[in-house]
Amino acid sequence: MINDFLNIQVLLAPESYSRLQNLDSNDFSDLFNKIKEFKSKKDDFILLDSHFLNIFLGTNLKNIFEEYGKFDFLAYYTSNEVAFEEQEILEKDDFEPIGEVKLENEEIFKPKMENKAYDLDFEDIEEEEPELDEIHKKLEEERKERLLEIRSIRESVNNKINYYAKDIEAQIHVYDEYDVTGKSTCEGTLDDFVKYFKDRCSTLRKIIELKTQKKAYPLNQLFRRKKENEVFIAGIVSDVNSTKNGHKMVELEDENGTFRVLLMKDKMEKGDLPSDVLLDEVIGFEGTINDKGDLMFVDRAFRPDITPKPTKTTDEKIYTAFLSDVHVGSREFLNKVFAKFIRFLNGEVNNGLEEKIVSRLKYISIAGDLVDGVGIYPGQEYDLYDVDIISQYAEVAAYLEQVPEHIKFIICPGNHDALRPAEPQPTFDESITSLFPKENVTFVGNPGVVNMHGLDLLMYHGRSFDDIIGQISSAQYTNPPSIMTELLKRRHLCPTYGGRCPIAPEHVDYLAIHTEPDIFHTGHIHINGYDNYHGVRMINSGTFQEQTDFQKRMGIKPTPGIIPIQDLSKREQHMIEWNQGKIEIN
């Protein structure tokens, strides 16, 4: 099925793929022919998500041509907009009318309409409505007041401590070869997609071959291996189906062809074979080829995975703090709590333990969403106290300027930041980075890989978490490491193409985990979580944003104002937490 659609340059989103499998043959044939005819006159590469599947199922071809003949499909599915059907729900349920929105400066934004006869002429309205420049002036005054308050934090702390970390030389090296910054070439063409998936397949297959010490047999030559056992193959998953008996039929693809493999139900239930094979992941199989030479019965499966090893440590006793999802600009931003953390970094401590920790704190890793952004979702402007994106970043920079210079920041972007939404994301534009202190801030892309004091740190904001949650039952929002582990197993940060996390088809797959990290730091879901997988410290930091209305409806309970801090000289997974002003040890 997938290859049929690829032949007409149509990609299937996972939810659409599932729905298509349930169509009867006649309905599927009618749908496919309708899409094929549309594509004959529309040369765009189309992602068939739920929205467009509904359109092709329920609309005649003439109306589709009238409505979408000049539609920019590529811009739609690589944009940061929510899917159309989600937009409609948000617009109806998430946002109140403008007149009911509670604004801090309500007297400025709410026109006075006390004349019940409604016979005001234009001059009356102009007199009663505030002038636009007056509004701008007041907003600018509020910005200045906020910045003045922020810039007074350091001098307001009287307790001076001895910073041991000040005498420890910072060691930061960015692995540019794994960062898309300055190297993006994709234009969204078919050739870009082909090169992207070829690189993904080749990169991860080599890792599997290295781990197994076996060379994968070309898929288009397997007919020569009829009836043979212990045949080893590896490729990218192009199709997954469950049989009526509970087995899994997986179609594997490499540069030369495709081949079907069968994973038996009993072996999956025993745990001998994986039951969670995802579309587009790269995986290896070993098994027996049938008599016809067109099917493998799988005995073993191999993922690129992380090699089990002891947790790596630093030679010097230093601490690193991990945070993300600050969301400056949001009305739910916890500015007082964030300011309290900055005062903690300046030596405002409650006891000897806190002083010991902050005196040796050398690095702070920030995994994206520094600001709430602008235009991220419909009606966001009503959730912001500052709708100017540069002003939001200037406020973040002002906070960081108040941190002692010997503490080094490493920052990657997230989906709320002012960058292209498609991953991998390059780092911030100079118009933003120039706002920050150069002496102690290092910017990387998303994902970014940095060697920090001898330890390899993989930073990824985590937008693909939303897709993993819907595909793997064991992955849960309330347990972030359960999601992170699945990415490490597959050595890829966004295994399935076409989900909620848009992917830019670069000629190099920067979302592949090329080298095994010592620390894996993520964010995005606003919930703290920590664990260790095969020697990799997994840290998902929380947020400085209160629970939003959307999170309340979804039952998601964020963990705001909690910052994990680790002693990188120790192997133990004890996590120190700065919890809204107090140090706690888990």
- How do the pLDDT tens digits run along the chain, 586 residues long? 766 777 777 777 766 777 887 787 778 888 888 888 888 887 766 777 777 888 888 888 887 887 787 776 655 544 444 344 333 333 334 433 333 333 333 333 333 333 443 444 545 545 545 566 787 888 899 999 999 999 999 999 988 899 999 999 999 999 999 999 999 999 989 999 999 999 999 999 999 999 999 999 999 999 999 999 999 999 999 999 999 999 999 999 999 999 999 999 999 999 999 999 999 999 999 999 999 999 999 999 999 999 999 999 999 999 999 999 999 999 999 999 999 999 999 999 999 999 999 999 999 999 999 999 999 888 888 899 999 999 999 999 999 999 999 999 999 999 999 999 999 999 999 999 999 999 999 999 999 999 999 999 999 999 999 999 999 999 999 999 999 999 999 999 999 999 999 999 999 999 999 999 999 999 999 999 999 999 999 999 999 999 987 778 778 899 999 999 999 999 876 789 999 999 998 7
Cβ atoms within 10 A of the Cβ of 561, count?
A: 21
Q: Which of 534, 531, 510 is nearest to 521 (CA)?
A: 531
Q: Identify whether 274 is preceded by a cis peptide bond (ω within 30 of 0).
A: no
Domain boundaries of the chain, sorted by first residue: 2-77, 146-181+311-585, 214-302
Question: Cα separation of 395 and 379, whole Å?
Answer: 22
CA distances 555 to 469, 477, 549, 550, 551, Å, are 15, 10, 10, 9, 6
**Per-residue pLDDT, 301:** 98
Question: Cα separation of 489 and 303, whole Å?
Answer: 7
Is the distance from CB of 314 to CB of 370 less than 8 angstroms?
Answer: no
> 138-174: per-residue pLDDT in tens?
889 999 999 999 999 999 998 889 999 999 999 999 9
Question: Cα separation of 409 and 55, whole Å?
Answer: 47
Question: Cα separation of 528 and 532, whole Å?
Answer: 14
Tokens representing residue 63 in the block: 């109306």
End-to-end CA distance of the chain: 50
Question: Cα separation of 398 and 153, whole Å?
Answer: 10
Length in residues, the chain: 586
**Per-residue pLDDT, 109:** 35
Tokens representing residue 572 in the block: 């133990």
Q: Which of 367, 287, 369 is nearest to 323 (CA)?
A: 367
Question: Cα separation of 396 and 412, whole Å?
Answer: 14
Q: Which of 173, 187, 184 is nearest to 444 (CA)?
A: 173
Question: Cα separation of 26 and 222, whole Å?
Answer: 33
Helix (H) or strand (E) holding 495: none
Secondary structure in 3-state letters for 328-365: ECECCECHHHHHHHHHHHCCCCCCHHHHHHHHCEEEEE
CA distances 567 to 32, 49, 110, 572, Å, are 57, 45, 52, 9
CATH assignment of 214-302, among 3.30.540.10, 2.40.50.140, 1.10.1760.20, 3.40.50.300 = 2.40.50.140
Question: Cα separation of 237 and 499, whole Å?
Answer: 16
DSSP characters over 390-419: HHHHHHHHHHHHTS-TTSEEEEE--TTSSS
Third-level CATH fold of 146-181+311-585: Purple Acid Phosphatase; chain A, domain 2 (3.60.21)
User: Position 490: which residue type?
Assistant: R
Cβ density class 446-464: b for 16+ within 10 Å, e for less:
bbbbbebbebbbbbbbbbb
Tell me phi and psi for residue 245, to 5 degrees.
-95, 5
CA distances 201 to 4, 148, 329, 406, Å, are 20, 52, 41, 42
* Helix 132-150 and helix 389-401, axial crossing angle in degrees, nearest 10: 20
CA distances 287 to 231, 238, 261, 295, 490, Å, are 5, 19, 9, 10, 20
**Per-residue pLDDT, 508:** 97
What 3-state DSSP class applies to 190?
helix
Question: Cα separation of 571 and 393, whole Å?
Answer: 36
Mention every residue, 6+ apart, whose C-beta is less than 8 A from residue 533.
306, 481, 484, 485, 488
**Per-residue pLDDT, 108:** 32
User: Position 482: which residue type?
Assistant: S
- Cα angle value 459/462/466 (rounded, 5°): 165
CA distances 453 to 173, 314, 563, 566, Å, are 9, 7, 20, 13
Q: What is the distance of C-alpha 218 from the center of its chain?
A: 34
Secondary structure in 3-state letters for 92-127: HHCCCCHHHCCCCCHHHHCCCCCCCCCCCCHHHHHH
